[in-house]
Chains A and B, each alone.
Chain A
Amino acid sequence: MIWAITQNELKRIWYSPIAWVLFSVALLVLGLLLLILLNNFYAEVQDKLVGLERAPGLTDLVIAPFMFWVAVVGIILVPLFAVRSSTEERHFGSHILLGSAPISAKQIVFGKYFALMLIALLFTLICCSYALVLGHFTPIDYGKTLAGMLAVFLTISSFNSVALYIANLTSTPIIATAGILGALLIMVMLYLSGSATASSSELFLYLTNFSHLTNLISGSIDTEHIAYFLLFAILFLFLCVRRLQLENIS
């Protein structure tokens, strides 16, 4: 049943021109960004690194920042599909189809969430393939690159659970979109507050997904970060299930 809902969500997104437009724009922007980072590396940075001991390479100075930006674009873009998946469904009344079917709130939430996860995976693979292509022309650290891909995927996937929860709180797409972007802004503010030299806070840094993202991108695959992303996703999926149960779409 979960797979049926996932397939249906993917099909709806596949047929949607908005999805294609958003993906195309994101790929174009990220492609240009990679070009800028590469150009900057070869034109300005590379010469300064000559002779330095344990100098950072292309992976640290091009691929890692590129991965960070892939995550930023992904975390803005992919959760918007949650609005399409849930808020628009409520807006047009099609959620009643699921509500009157013999399926539970958990199945509905996980079905939709897995669809968003697969989109996040597709987005990560396509965008990060840019970085992997570089490996054909110049030596890169594949371990760090794969850690970066994992970081991007986990960041987008975990934030999808927040997006899904917010998308189920309202039937107005614009409110849901504003809510999701607002939640993202809170994450950014926590990261900025936590990493500011004057008022750095370990708690703020632990709470925001950006600090875990940057740690993973730098190549340190720590279970603490993976546990954070899992707990974050589980918390908001649980809230989402409760929300549907309270509405009695169960």
Chain B
Amino acid sequence: MTQETLLSVHNLSHSFDDHQAISNLNFNIHRGEVVALLGVNGAGKSTTLNIISGNLFPQEGDVSICAHNIFSQAKQAKCNLGYLPDTPPLYKELNVAEYLQFAARIRAVEKKQIKKYLADALEICGLSAVQNKLIANLSKGYKQRVGIAQAIIHKPALVILDEPTVGLDPVQMQDIRSLLNELSKNHSVLLSTHLLSEAESTCDRVMIIDQGSLMLDQTVDKLNQSNGNTSKRIKLRFNGNPSIEKLKAIPGCDSVSCSQYGKYICRYNDGEFIQQVQKLALQNDWQLYEISTIGGSLEQAFMDLVVRDTA
């Protein structure tokens, strides 16, 4: 049985002056899927989401939502879309209920239905208790909830959330993650984040974008299976300048790569490898100050794809 495609992104490219923000992106999102768009800052996530939400016109490519082109059939496409940008688009002088009623009206919700839709959004997002409070007086976590509520008030098929947990404290983050799980019951969700644990715990599929190109598009289950047999990885940081050649020469080392932030990622297959690194660092005065194993399969994949290989 073929799945219904809600979002189709085809050959999408966009650049700002000389900087190629995204390049030839292609992917689909099907009904019921929760997909994470992962990438470091500046990878092109927000540009992609701005184009998908119809706020930025791409230089090349097409975006369709529920088979309607986001630019040539904007009204039909946007009726099926809810979007939370990285900064929630709030009117702080309004109270929560007034703001959400306005959001419902501009999303073409019928007048008779607005009360019901409002009550549903308030309940799902846990905002019933604060519905008469001014948005300006809410905490950051609640403002984020209001932002999510405006994105789902018209019950769209597809919800796009751009870094919904950024800047929140751990408790608020957990609340928003629970809310995301709740949303996934009735909506397809495209979630942009750079928190790998968030993607792993809430999403069915992950896409990794780097320097504007899609590097990986795989389900979390497949990712877990495919990483069962691979070699182990560790992350190292030094105050001194280590020699990559010397690290590579350690018995059991498969590869060494270095990120732009001075992190070294080593793949190895020998149990003695970590002790050998420590010994070598001491001998050469590399001032090793961090050594940590790279945990989940997603983190390993992310590091492999995003960290530049210098070896």
Chain A positions within 8 Å of B, measured between CB atoms, are 1, 4-5, 8, 11-12, 15-16, 92-104, 248-250
Q: When A and B form their complex, which 10 residue pairs have the shortest distance between CB atoms, in order from nearest? A: A97-B89, A102-B78, A93-B87, A100-B83, A248-B57, A4-B105, A94-B89, A102-B75, A101-B106, A15-B93
Question: Are A248 and B56 in contact (CB-based, < 8 A)?
Answer: yes
Question: Are B71 and A92 in contact (CB-based, < 8 A)?
Answer: no
Among A16, A101, A104, point to the contact of B93 (Cβ < 8 A): A16
Closest to A103 in B: B106
Question: Are B87 and A92 in contact (CB-based, < 8 A)?
Answer: yes
Question: Are A1 and B87 in contact (CB-based, < 8 A)?
Answer: no
Residues of B within 8 A of A102 (CB): 74-79, 106-108
Contact with A along B90-116 (1 / 0, CB 8 A): 111110001000110111100000000
- Check B55 for interface membership: any CB of A closer than 8 A: yes
Residues of A within 8 A of B93 (CB): 12, 15-16
Among A11, A15, A101, A249, point to the contact of B107 (Cβ < 8 A): A101
Closest to B92 in A: A92
Closest to B105 in A: A4
Complex CA gap A65/B160 in Å reads 56
Among A11, A12, A249, point to the contact of B55 (Cβ < 8 A): A249
Most buried by B among A5, A12, A15, A101: A101
- Which residues of chain B from 43 to 85 have any CB-CB distance to chain A below 8 Å in the complex? 53-57, 71, 74-79, 81-83, 85
Closest to A16 in B: B93
Residues of A within 8 A of B76 (CB): 102
Residues of A within 8 A of B165 (CB): none
Complex CA gap A104/B106 in Å reads 10
Residues of B within 8 A of A96 (CB): 53, 55, 83, 85, 89
Chain B positions within 8 Å of A, measured between CB atoms, are 53-57, 71, 74-79, 81-83, 85, 87-94, 98, 102-103, 105-108, 150
Complex CA gap A100/B153 in Å reads 13
Additional 6 contacts, C-beta under 8 A, given A11-B98, A92-B92: A92-B89, A92-B90, A94-B90, A102-B74, A102-B76, A248-B57
Give 10 pairs: A residue, B residue, CB < 8 Å, sorted on A: A1-B106, A4-B102, A92-B90, A94-B89, A94-B91, A100-B54, A101-B78, A102-B76, A104-B74, A248-B55
Known contacts A1-B106, A12-B94; decide if A100 and B79 are in contact (CB<8 Å): no
Residues of A within 8 A of B53 (CB): 96, 99-100
How far in angstroms is the closest Cβ of chain B from A19? 10
Question: Are A100 and B78 in contact (CB-based, < 8 A)?
Answer: yes
Complex CA gap A97/B90 in Å reads 8
Residues of B within 8 A of A249 (CB): 55
Complex CA gap A110/B5 in Å reads 35
Question: Are A99 and B91 in contact (CB-based, < 8 A)?
Answer: no
Question: Are A248 and B94 in contact (CB-based, < 8 A)?
Answer: no
How far in angstroms is the closest Cβ of chain B from A110? 13
Complex CA gap A147/B106 in Å reads 38
Among A5, A12, A15, A93, point to the contact of B106 (Cβ < 8 A): A5
Complex CA gap A93/B83 in Å reads 13
Complex CA gap A95/B55 in Å reads 10
Complex CA gap A104/B54 in Å reads 11
Question: Are A97 and B94 in contact (CB-based, < 8 A)?
Answer: no
Complex CA gap A92/B92 in Å reads 10
Question: Are B75 and A8 in contact (CB-based, < 8 A)?
Answer: no
Complex CA gap A79/B75 in Å reads 30
How far in angstroms is the closest Cβ of chain A from B40? 22
Question: Are A97 and B74 in contact (CB-based, < 8 A)?
Answer: no
Complex CA gap A163/B4 in Å reads 46
Residues of B within 8 A of A11 (CB): 94, 98
Question: Are B55 and A100 in contact (CB-based, < 8 A)?
Answer: yes
Complex CA gap A104/B105 in Å reads 14
Closest to B160 in A: A100
How far in angstroms is the closest Cβ of chain B from A84? 10
How far in angstroms is the closest Cβ of chain B from A60? 43
Question: Are A248 and B87 in contact (CB-based, < 8 A)?
Answer: no
Question: Are A100 and B56 in contact (CB-based, < 8 A)?
Answer: no
Closest to B52 in A: A100
Complex CA gap A12/B94 in Å reads 7
Closest to A94 in B: B89
How far in angstroms is the closest Cβ of chain A from B294? 35
Complex CA gap A202/B172 in Å reads 66
Residues of A within 8 A of B56 (CB): 248
Residues of A within 8 A of B102 (CB): 4, 8
Complex CA gap A97/B107 in Å reads 10
Residues of B within 8 A of A95 (CB): 89
How far in angstroms is the closest Cβ of chain A from B105? 4
Question: Are B75 and A97 in contact (CB-based, < 8 A)?
Answer: no
Complex CA gap A103/B109 in Å reads 12
Question: Are B85 and A93 in contact (CB-based, < 8 A)?
Answer: yes
Complex CA gap A95/B87 in Å reads 11
Residues of B within 8 A of A103 (CB): 75, 106
Complex CA gap A101/B88 in Å reads 14
